[in-house]
Amino acid sequence: MNVIFKALNDATRREILNLLKEKDRTAGEIADHFNISKPSISHHLDLLKQADLITSQKLGQFVIYSINTTIMDDVLQWILTFKK
């Protein structure tokens, strides 16, 4: 759970998740939304993958990134355990 919260602790990574909430995207499509280098985007994507918040699938020369809603549901359920 700590790696998930570490990944969510960055505004860029949260914005990447918002983009993926709309639709699956390639790294290039994600990078087009930011004014940072492509290696930096790759780093953010790697951290999100390590936290299992996103998945990737290679299609030809492209890698398509998707949000992992199962993990998001698990985090939400955990947070809701604190609500009385």
Find, among 53, 50, 49, the residue nearest to 75 by Cα: 53
Query: How does pLDDT run across 16-70, given as a tens digit for each residue?
Result: 999 999 999 999 999 999 999 999 999 999 999 999 999 999 999 999 999 998 9
pLDDT of 84 over the 80 cut? no
The model's pTM is: 0.89
Structure tokens at 52: 């299992």
3-state secondary structure 48-70: HHHCCCEEEEEECCEEEEEECHH
